[in-house]
A = this chain, B = another copy of it.
């Protein structure tokens, strides 16, 4: 069971849907941009308080971060402008 992967994927999914950059989200949520990057790359192990701030900045419920990953999550992961993961 990997909550960290769920948070990483859902955060990136929602953030990209809203077309907001890591930097802008960082400002809105009052966190450092490297923290957002780290969470999305599953490098960081975020706290509940931090997820709260991100949820508020994105106007979502905090539970959205824990939605289960779809089976094809790996394909969608690094989704910014057109660039796909090499596979």
Minimum CB–CB distance for A30 against chain B, Å: 14
* Cα-based distance from A4 to B49 in the complex (angstroms): 7
Copies of this chain, tallied across the complex? 2
* Cα-based distance from A84 to B46 in the complex (angstroms): 33
Quick check: is A25 within 8 A (CB to CB) of the other chain? no
* Cα-based distance from A45 to B48 in the complex (angstroms): 6
Q: Which residues in B have their C-beta under 8 angstroms from that of A46? A: 47-48
B interface footprint on A59-76 (CB within 8 Å = 1, 0 otherwise): 001110011100000000
Q: Which residues in B have their C-beta under 8 angstroms from that of A4? A: 48-49, 52
A sample of 5 inter-chain contacts (CB < 8 A) reads A3-B51, A46-B47, A46-B48, A47-B47, A63-B63
